[in-house]
């Protein structure tokens, strides 16, 4: 597994040279055009690399814990998500990685005691699905050949994303402006020991759009497993965050 850091991944990313033109989405179905024209302003950089800073709460050990995190996403490589949480006032630090087809998770209490670890093909497959869901922060990549668009109706575009060794079926729910209000996809469930790995519904809600350098995305999220079922609220939802910044290279 590569040891490349978040900062190294960002520093080595090429800068975007092309800019978005509305005519680029003329051939897409109406719901898809509404979404892409909402999220990409004319002249926005068609970047394939983003740096995100966020804070929020996530469910750890059956309780919601505060966290702060930073992430770099590169469509050609993957992502590194570096986070710090607190349990009983003590720090847990570490990172989720999905780089060059390999996935891993490493978090330690006080930087010493392992509290969450994982790696291998099932971790990588689950991470690829996460990466595809987070493509909303890199909307330029949704114009590429990795993505095939269709629509269920005027407020539900559908993207089939075939990249990073995984094919994801991503459903979006839009409001009247074309902003994303919910996402969902079957995501590979890297199950606990004793359970078989399989796909489970993953998704959640989003709100509070903000624009950074011509790219408009939701800034608040509530996400988890078993989205769309009665299991979501009591056991599936595990991640709530607010984006503090979004930078495209």
Q: Measure the CA–CA gap between 173 and 156, rounded to whole angstroms.
A: 5
* Residue range 39-75, pLDDT digits in tens: 999 999 999 999 999 999 999 878 899 999 999 999 9
Where exactly are the structural domains of the chain? 31-248
pLDDT confidence band for 35 (50 / 70 / 90): very high
Q: What is the pLDDT of residue 104?
A: 86
Q: What is the pLDDT of residue 48?
A: 96
CATH tag, 31-248: 2.50.20.10
Q: What is the pLDDT of residue 89?
A: 77
pLDDT confidence band for 193 (50 / 70 / 90): low
What mean pLDDT comes out for the span 192-215? 90
Biggest distance spanned by C-alpha atoms of the chain? 54
Tell me whether residue 119 is exposed, middle or buried, using C-beta atoms within 10 angstroms of its C-beta: 0 to 12, 13 to 18, 19 or more: middle
Above pLDDT 90, what percent of the chain?
78
223: left (phi over 0), alpha (psi -120 to 50) or beta: beta
DSSP bridge partners of 85: 67, 92
Q: Measure the CA–CA gap between 75 and 63, rounded to whole angstroms.
A: 33
* Residue range 121-157, pLDDT digits in tens: 999 999 999 999 999 999 999 999 999 999 999 999 9
pLDDT above 60 (res 1): no
* Residue range 89-105, pLDDT digits in tens: 788 888 899 999 999 88
Does the pTM exceed 0.85?
Answer: yes
Rounded to the nearest integer, the mean pLDDT of the chain is 92
DSSP bridge partners of 221: 206, 241
Dihedral, 32, 38, 44, 50 alpha carbons, nearest 10: -80
DSSP E strand boundaries for 23-101: 49-60, 63-74, 78-87, 90-99
């Amino acid at each position: 597994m590569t040891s490349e850091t978040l900062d190294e991944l960002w520093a080595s990313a090429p800068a975007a040279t092309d800019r978005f033109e509305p005519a680029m989405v003329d051939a897409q179905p109406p719901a898809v055009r509404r979404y892409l024209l909402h999220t990409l302003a004319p002249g926005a950089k068609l970047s394939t690399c983003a740096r995100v800073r966020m804070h929020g709460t996530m469910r750890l050990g059956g309780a919601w814990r505060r966290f702060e995190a930073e992430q770099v996403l590169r469509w050609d490589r993957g992502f590194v998500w570096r986070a710090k949480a607190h349990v009983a006032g003590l720090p847990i630090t570490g990172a989720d990685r999905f780089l060059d087809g390999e996935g891993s998770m490493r978090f330690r209490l006080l930087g010493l005691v392992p509290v969450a670890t994982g790696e291998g093909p099932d971790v990588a497959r689950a991470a690829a699905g996460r990466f595809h869901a987070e493509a909303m922060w890199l909307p330029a990549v949704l114009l590429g050949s990795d993505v095939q668009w269709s629509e269920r109706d005027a407020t539900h575009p559908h993207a089939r994303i075939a990249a990073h060794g995984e094919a994801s079926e991503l459903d979006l729910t839009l409001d009247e402006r074309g902003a994303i209000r919910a996402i969902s996809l079957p995501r590979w469930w890297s199950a606990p020991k004793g359970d078989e790995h399989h796909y489970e519904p993953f998704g959640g809600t989003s709100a509070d759009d903000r624009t950074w350098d011509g790219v408009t995305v939701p800034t608040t999220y509530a996400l988890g497993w078993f989205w769309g079922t009665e299991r979501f609220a009591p056991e599936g939802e595990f991640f709530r965050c607010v984006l503090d910044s979004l930078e495209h290279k």
